[in-house]
Structure 1
Amino acid sequence: MPTQLEIAMDAMTRIFHYSCKEGDRLKINNGELKMLLQRHLTEFLSCQKDPELVDKIMQDLDANKDYEVDFNEFVVRVAALTVACNDYFVEQLKKK
């Protein structure tokens, strides 16, 4: 039986690779990335007030500015976004 962490790692890997549909099958282009973010960060994006947030996340994910995101860029940036979410969670706990 896989652990929750193993399930999460598997999910991130599968989400990335299922999103690589055009061109290089090991990278996500801007259109694919936008669809991935809108499909898999629905709750997070719905709480945001910035209409350009998806574009900003896309630019941030593309660390080497080649207009594609490879798996390493994806994982590093998703981890950074997770850290930011944790920071927010911790701040909310301190307010209680």
Structure 2
Amino acid sequence: MQLGAMQMLIKTFHKYSGKEGDKYTLSRSELKELLLEELGKTQAQTTVEKVMNDLDANNDGEVDFTEFIILMGALTVACNDFFLEQKREGGRS
């Protein structure tokens, strides 16, 4: 991963963390804001709740940077799988 990509992940996390409570974690509402604004998705509240529950490994009601990176890794893998499948399907035509 290039340094620029890592810097972007760190800056994005800290852009939203600390608006409420601990400046080094994302609250439920901060995570929702990050997902809605940065991923450009119009996520339903239930989706945000599921993501929060899946990421909050220590059940403290907040997502720290380590837990956030797990989400980014999972999204990267999912996107890679999607693009590989699209490439394979395009090759069959």
Please give the range of the TM-score, normalised by the shorter of the 2 chains: 0.7 to 0.9
**Using the alignment, how far apart are the partners of 2:54 and 2:10 within structure 1?**
19
Greater RCO, CA 8 A, separation 6+: 1
% same residue: 45
After TM superposition, the runs of 4+ consecutive aligned structure 1 residues lying more than 6 A away are none
Q: 2:76 aligns with which of 68, 79, 82?
A: 82
Aligned residues: 88
Residue 5 (structure 1) shift: 1.9
1:23-38 superposed matches below 5 A: 23-38=21-36
User: Cα RMSD (Å) of the superposition?
Assistant: 1.8
Q: Tell me which amino acid in the other structure corresponds to 1:55.
A: E
1:16 aligns with 2:10: no
Q: Tell me which amino acid in the other structure corresponds to 1:87.
A: D
Q: Tell me which amino acid in the other structure corresponds to 2:32.
A: K
Q: Tell me the residue number matched to 2:60.
A: 66
**Using the alignment, how far apart are the partners of 1:70 and 1:35 within structure 2?**
15
Residue 28 (structure 1) shift: 0.6
**Using the alignment, how far apart are the partners of 2:71 and 2:58 within structure 1?**
12
**TM-score for the superposition, normalised by structure 1:** 0.80
**Using the alignment, how far apart are the partners of 1:59 and 1:27 within structure 2?**
14
Q: Secondary structure at the match of 2:63?
A: strand
Which ranges of structure 1 fall in alignment gaps of 5 or more residues?
A: none
